[in-house]
Amino acid sequence: SGPVTERDLLHLWKLVEEKDGGPAWVQMMDRSTPTMSYQAWRRDPESGPPQYRSRTVFEDASPELVRDFFWDDEYRLKWDDMLIYASTLEECDLTGAMMVHWVRKFPFFCSDREYVIGRRIWDAGQVYYCVTKGVPCPSMPRHNKPKRVDLYYSSWCIRAVKSRKDGQLTSCEVLLFHHEDMGIPWEIAKLGVRQGMWGAVKKFDPGLRTYQKERDSGVPLSRCACAAKINTKITADYLSSLENTTSDLLETENQDTSDKPAGRNIPKLLIVGGAIALACTLDQGLLTKAVIFGVARRFAKMGRRL
């Protein structure tokens, strides 16, 4: 039990297996470096923010190292220049589940954003399903600044794949699904992603290589990296059985929530996705003054408050 449950695991598995029932993905990027390849897609649901999906392959990297790298908030503060604060609110020694508090720096034309994130990892035979999502936290009072982001989903499937160099299972694939509602008009958010995606993604590989060197040198593990090693063990058959046993429950809950206001709920079957952590892409250098004012004029009458 807890804020992240097996239903979240099932949803991520459906996204990975392309069984979520969502609209088709439209490819928006295909780039590579000598040690990393990257592909990204986007889709726009009928309601809710844009959804992103990406596939990143790191050469000469193990799934365990990449899992720890993305989970390690202490190290993320060094390479993610948008993350300005991170703390652990709760953690479970049995499952490794955590609740964390983040504050992210946003562009100059809007205030910083804060997140209360629940997260947990399942291990299906060295295929790691890593779920992170926004969760309620009554003990954390809201403030005008930084503004809290409630609708947040960013989850990975991490597994070994064949290297493009020699065909051996020495590379690591990360399938990332992401969406969030930051209180910024979605067309502006899409513009920021389109302009800044590759610049943000390029930081992953050098950050990972430095992290690998530090680990090899015997640097003590951070609290979050230790938690990343506590996983719930499952099998592929278990995931299939979970799909069958929860389908009726999901259908019932979709009916129960169908009368709630549009745009405030996660769409049916939680159609979400991501190519990158969207907040990492919006940087002062991504939107020129001309673009900012041009887009601002376009959306001046939308009535949204930044």
d(C-alpha 281, C-alpha 277), whole Å = 7
- In words, the CATH class of domain 28-234 is alpha beta
d(C-alpha 30, C-alpha 14), whole Å = 23
DSSP string, 168-215: SS-EEEEEEEEEE--SS-HHHHHHHHHHHHHHHHTTHHHHHHHHHHHH
Secondary element (H or E) of residue 244: helix 236-256
pTM of this structure:
0.79
Angle at which helix 63-71 crosses helix 204-216, to 10 degrees, equals 110
pLDDT tens sequence for the chain (306 residues)? 578 999 999 999 999 999 999 999 999 999 999 999 999 999 999 888 999 999 999 999 999 999 999 999 999 999 988 899 999 999 999 999 999 999 998 765 678 999 999 999 999 998 999 999 999 998 898 988 899 999 999 999 999 999 988 889 999 999 999 999 988 888 888 887 877 788 888 889 999 999 999 999 999 999 999 999 999 999 988 888 888 876 544 444 444 444 433 433 333 322 233 333 333 333 333 333 333 334 444 444 444 445
Angle at 128 between CA 93 and CA 266, to 5 degrees: 90
d(C-alpha 83, C-alpha 104), whole Å = 5
Please return the burial class of 143, using the count of CB atoms within 10 Å of its CB with bins 0-12, 13-18 and 19+. exposed
d(C-alpha 168, C-alpha 1), whole Å = 38
Domains of the chain by residue range: 28-234
Let me know: does 174 contact 167? Beta carbons within 8 Å. no
